[in-house]
Amino acid sequence: MAEESKEEQKPSVSFIEQFIIDDISDGKNNGRIHTRFPPEPNGYLHIGHAKAICLDFGMAQKYGGKCNLRFDDTNPVKEEVEYIDSIKEDIHWLGFDWEEREYYASDYFGKLFEFAVDLIKRSLAYVDDQPADVISAQKGTPSQPGQSSPFRNRPPAESLDLFYRMNEGEFAEGSRVLRARIDMSSPNMHMRDPIIYRIIKAPHHRTGENWKVYPMYDFAHGQSDYFEGITHSLCTLEFEVHRPLYDWLIDQLKTSDYRPRQIEFNRLNLTYTIMSKRKLLELVREGRVSGWDDPRMPTLCGLRRRGYTPESIRNFVDMIGYTKVEAINDVSLLEYAVREDLNKKAPRVFGVLDPLKVIITNYPAGKVEEMEILNNPEDESMGTRKVPFCNEIYIEKDDFMENPPHKYFRLAPGTEVRLKGAYIIKCESFRKNEMTGMIEEVFCTYDPATRSGGEASDRKVKGTLHWVSARHAVDAEVRLYDRLFDHEDPAGQKDEDYRKFLNPGSLKVLSGCMLEPSLRNAEPLDKFQFQRLGYFCVDYDSTPEQLVFNRTVSLKDTWAKIRK
């Protein structure tokens, strides 16, 4: 009888979703839900943005609303068109769409200017002629109240005249600003007559030379929300202290019951990486990574190149949730999310990264058999493929040991292993290079009765190895990636530069890897599981002549643990 409560168990919703549900039931904004994703076009999107995107678009989808894409382009000196296309591409790749609602804060420069003029006329804003350092000093400190500017009570007509002339280009950058007239002794620094307009003479990527004054974030964001009819303006925790200003400005602007509401949630932090756009840019500029889409980067283009799927990122974001706690999430959860997704989707193939030649002495030298092998045991509808087998194959170097330790299940002198999808082989002898001591070739015999599916194929052996026909294998370069940093929280160490924690072994390039021939025509971003090794995807650098694979993530290796 305890059954009923179990199935009634509702999936819990985040505090933000609860706010939305409450707002709908309270009839706020006529029950409309309208969100926006507002990136500043000054860098590439990273997985932290994915968390915001999934929320903004996800809430709109779930509650029958809309989500706008809005570029927050209020600072022409920091922003570049280059980033706009990449941002749009990444959002689409993640699986979301803003339809025709692609907006720019710069679309509202005219309306924003009018609103500023209105505030001046109502004595709620004034032009301040003081330099930045003086204004800053007068603001006081978080624990001491600020002091009024001598221009605070300037007559509106005078401010108005000056404001127009600022926009004509008459004054130098930094010589004058427009300030909202709120409360210089507010305990909230953002309410101490915040600067809302400054003079910038650099050309804007969309409005060109039209404007000489540009609104600050606080004066543009909430107002843009208002102009677009946004109901829920979701942003990260550091904007919490801006909310009173957001609300104050909306109060001055609104003419009906409609008003947007700002709600803050915790930003995503991941172990062993950094999320700051500025630092990511440094890594790119200093050549510490190959670019924004280096597969070690937490950027969406980097993750894409690494082999991550949009589904895995969405599932990851779903698992970590939205709260107000400043958390640092474990990358292993992200890795789990890709493995889980790729396990269902990725065809299994054989790839030998560190080849060792095995010669099967009793197998006819000229003979080639086509072994039919399941593409994905998790999903038989993915069918089978033919893999050629002959008397010379490659196996992984660490799948053979001359003097095996206890519990070693792989190939060693006198032992048997199964070659997956083919035969059981027994190691008879091996040849060592006298000079280097390296094992160069292993000689085995096979048991013809043990062919997979054959009469003796159910014979038990301890180990099963992946292999590749030496005569049919295709050569490839394989790039093995590890965490970019070897410290859990590289950016969070006081007095320690994050670069100090760069992991020197974060990229290992392997050449001369041997892959099964079906991989010859693989296209960039095609994803596979190299059996017993991990998930790999084809890199953009790959060509039919020189295949290049990236390791997305390894499989969990318990033998590696036994060894330790």
Write out the catalytic residue numbers.
Answer: 40, 267, 277
CB-nearer residue toward RNA: 166 or 474: 166
CB-nearer residue toward RNA: 105 or 522: 105
The CB density around residue 161, as the number of other CB atoms within 10 Å, is: 13
Backbone phi, then psi, for 132, in 5-degree steps? -55, -45
113 is an interface residue for RNA by CB under 7 A: no
Find the binding residues for RNA in span 142-161 (CB under 7 A).
142-143
The alpha carbon dihedral of 312, 316, 322, 326 has a sign of negative
Q: Applying CB under 7 A, which of residues 85, 102, 173, 497 lies at the interface with RNA? A: 173
Q: How far is the CB of 346 from RNA (least distance, A)?
A: 9
List 68's β-bridge partners, or say none.
Answer: 36
CB-nearer residue toward RNA: 61 or 376: 376
Binding flags for RNA, 24-53, as an x/- string (CB under 7 A): --------------x-x-------------
Q: Are 413 and 420 in contact (CB under 8 A)?
A: no
Query: What would the DSSP string read from start to end of 361-422?
Result: TTS-TT--EEEEEES-TT-GGG-EEEEEE-SEEEEEGGGB-SSPPTT--SB-TT-EEEETTS
Find the binding residues for RNA in span 524-563 (CB under 7 A).
529, 531-533, 554-562
CB-nearer residue toward RNA: 29 or 551: 551
Q: How far is CA 29 from the centre of its chain?
A: 34
Task: Fill in the DSSP letter of residue 546.
Answer: S
**Contact window for RNA (CB under 7 A) among 46-54, 96-104, 232-240, 438-446:** 232-240
Q: Which amino acid is at 549?
A: F
132 is an interface residue for RNA by CB under 7 A: yes
175 is an interface residue for RNA by CB under 7 A: yes
Find the binding residues for RNA in span 60-99 (CB under 7 A).
72, 74-75, 78
β-strands 66-71, 125-128: how paired? unpaired
The alpha carbon dihedral of 260, 265, 268, 274 has a sign of positive
**Contact window for RNA (CB under 7 A) among 53-61, 372-380, 439-447, 537-545:** 372-380
**Contact window for RNA (CB under 7 A) among 107-115, 124-132, 284-292, 535-543:** 124-132
**Contact window for RNA (CB under 7 A) among 108-116, 279-287, 297-305, 319-327:** 319-327
Q: How far is the CB of 450 from RNA (least distance, A)?
A: 7
167 is an interface residue for RNA by CB under 7 A: no
Alpha carbons 348 and 350: distance in angstroms, whole number: 7
Backbone phi, then psi, for 440, in 5-degree steps? -105, -35
Assign 3-class secondary structure to 496-516.
Answer: CCHHHHECCCCEEEEEEEEEC
CB-nearer residue toward RNA: 117 or 555: 555
Alpha carbons 70 and 39: distance in angstroms, whole number: 7
198 is an interface residue for RNA by CB under 7 A: yes
| 414, 418, 424, 425: CA torsion to nearest 10 | -40
Find the binding residues for RNA in span 471-530 (CB under 7 A).
529
421 is an interface residue for RNA by CB under 7 A: yes
Query: Token digits for 27?
Result: 């009839």
Find the binding residues for RNA in span 276-305 (CB under 7 A).
none
CB-nearer residue toward RNA: 61 or 343: 343
262 is an interface residue for RNA by CB under 7 A: no
Q: Applying CB under 7 A, which of residues 153, 323, 362, 493 lies at the interface with RNA? A: 323
403 is an interface residue for RNA by CB under 7 A: no
E strands in 122-231: 125-128, 177-180, 195-199, 213-215
Q: Give the total of residues touching RNA (CB under 7 A).
A: 97
Q: How far is the CB of 540 from RNA (least distance, A)?
A: 26
Q: How far is the CB of 8 from RNA (least distance, A)?
A: 8
Among 418, 414, 404, 401, CA closest to 461: 418
CB-nearer residue toward RNA: 294 or 335: 335
Find the binding residues for RNA in span 338-367 (CB under 7 A).
340, 343, 348
Alpha carbons 174 and 176: distance in angstroms, whole number: 6
385 is an interface residue for RNA by CB under 7 A: no
Q: How far is the CB of 23 from RNA (least distance, A)?
A: 16
Q: How far is the CB of 457 from RNA (least distance, A)?
A: 4
Task: Name every residue whose Cβ is closer than 8 Å to that of residue 297 and which is 6 or more positions away in sequence.
Answer: 46, 280, 283, 289, 303, 484
Find the binding residues for RNA in span 208-227 (CB under 7 A).
214, 216-218, 220-221
